[in-house]
Amino acid sequence: MAFNILDAAKSFITPDLIGKAAGYLQESESSVGKAVSGLLPASLLGITQKAESGGGNMIMDLAKQAMNSGILGNLGNAFNPGGGGVPDSSPGILHSIFGDKVGSIANAIASFAGIKGSSAASLLGSIAPMVMGFLGKHATENGLSASGLSSLLSNQKSSFLNALPAGLNIGNMLGISSSAPRPAVPHGEEPKKSGSWLMPLLLGLAGVALLLYLFKGCGGGEHKEEVVMGTPVKTADTLTAVPVTVPAVESIKVKLADGTEIDAYKGGIEDKLVACLNDAACVAGKDQWFDFDNLNFETGSARLTAESIAQIRNIVAILKAYPKAKIKIGGYTDKVGNDADNKKLSQERADAVLAEIKKEGANAAQLVGAEGYGEELAKVAETASDEERRVDRRISVQLREK
């Protein structure tokens, strides 16, 4: 019998898990189960679309990173107080799969299942890493290459589409159309209750995963969420009464001097850096800094997350296209925590980014170095809110020569 991805993923779902998740989210079990019944095939459809559009290698990388993160072996631990939360990798994974459609999809799920926007956001941010981890496990155990995994997904694409509950038009949102008949849910009948093997990761950060533009940056002390750039994090309490929305960020192609094109955000680091390199009036030097906007670290560490590699590779591509350019990496924290610890962490993170740039093939002659500035350049008071202090936590590229 042929391997069925969706059925295999569902086999990890238990009523006990969905019941506990519903309790944490303060939703009914039937509503959470209804949301999950749409999110599983929706996530697989998004992953398949991305793989089919040339992103097969990226999907494989994210899948293996999710598997290696330990997600699949710690399903029950996060139910305990303080046991966990929405995965750190969620923002990058959501953007990689759904792009600028994340908000629309979460809103559709919230409306379809009759749950709060924050609950839909948390569920979406949990299902996607779960599916990625499962795909990474299957690919590894069966020796699948990136193209092999993409082929498997493509062959089952129609089954993912048919598995979407009636009335949930996520296929249309993803640009997928099909005339294949799909079973309708009888009026008044709820889908079978289901949980997710990642449902334990639905603790106190509901909504964070949806806000995919919030990426962790430098920080010291007791920071629980560290953001490089983006919109302030909204907690479960502040999101419960409002629809889920995501800032409008436009994805663009940035053309480099050697004719290659890279995927980036309009106004993001790649867009601004290349614009400066192409503009004779833009002078390189100590004051020419560009902030990363899609760079994440595991909380309290200098370990880059999987989704960060895409932007690292973009920087490498830019350096190759502009061989006269030289850059330096800078790390910064806010004023919270011990000065020495902040300095140390910012240096470790700046070093980690520089090392990854070298690893991805950059010419060492174009890399001036890395320096952690800690909190010495922080402008926001230590007593300010965490949201206000986020501007001080970042990793940046200094264009030293061009």
Task: Give me the mean pLDDT over the 112-136 stretch.
Answer: 85
Please measure the distance between the N-terminal and C-terminal CA atoms of the chain and give it in whole angstroms: 59
Rounded to the nearest angstrom, the gap between the alpha carbon of residue 147 and the centroid of all alpha carbons in its chain is 22
How many angstroms separate the CA atoms of 371 and 353, rounded?
11
DSSP letter (8 states) at residue 54:
I
Exposed / middle / buried, residue 17 (Cβ in 10 Å: 0-12, 13-18, 19+)? buried
Residue 71 pLDDT more than 80? no
What's the CA gap between 91 and 238, in Å, rounded? 19
Kindly state the average pLDDT of the residues 274-293: 94
pLDDT tens, 136-155? Answer: 999 999 999 999 999 999 99
What pLDDT does 298 receive? 73
**CB proximity list for 366: less than 8 A, separation 6 or greater:** 319, 323, 325, 326, 327
| Predicted pLDDT of residue 105 | 87
Q: Read off φ and ψ for residue 51, nearest 5 degrees.
A: -65, -40
Is 111's pLDDT higher than 80? yes
CB-based contact 273:302 (threshold 8 Å):
no
What pLDDT sits at residue 14? 73
CB count in 10 Å sphere of residue 147? 12
Residue 251: pLDDT band by 50, 70, 90 thresholds? confident
What are the residue ranges spanned by the domains of the chain?
A: 5-174+194-212, 251-401
pLDDT at residue 188 tops 70: no
Going by pLDDT thresholds of 50, 70 and 90, the confidence category of residue 299 is low
* pLDDT above 90 as % of the chain: 34
Mean pLDDT of 365-382: 93
- CA angle, 45 then 88 then 44, to 5°: 10
Q: What was the pLDDT predicted at 132?
A: 86
CA pair distance 43, 198, nearest whole angstrom = 13
User: Quick one: which of 189, 186, 97 has its CA closest to 105?
Assistant: 97
What confidence tens digit (pLDDT) does each residue in 33-57 have?
898 898 999 999 999 998 998 889 9
pLDDT at 261: 94
CA-nearest of 346, 84, 359 to 226 is 346
Q: pTM of the full predicted structure?
A: 0.49
Averaged over 322-345, what is the pLDDT?
92
* Per-residue confidence (pLDDT) for residue 312, from 0 to 100: 95
What fold is seen in the domain 251-401? 60s Ribosomal Protein L30; Chain: A; (3.30.1330)
If pLDDT is split at 50, 70 and 90, which confidence band does 242 have?
Answer: very low
**Predicted pLDDT at 289:** 95
Residue with tokens 């939360």: 85
For the cut 90, the answer to whether the pLDDT of residue 199 exceeds it is no
> Taking a C-beta distance cutoff of 8 angstroms, is the pair 195, 17 a contact?
yes
Rounded mean pLDDT, 363-386: 91
Residue range 150-174: average pLDDT? 88
Q: What's the confidence (pLDDT) of residue 87?
A: 59
CA distance 56 to 36: 25
In whole numbers, what is the pLDDT of the chain averaged over residues?
77
Lowest mean pLDDT among 62-66, 311-315, 349-353: 62-66
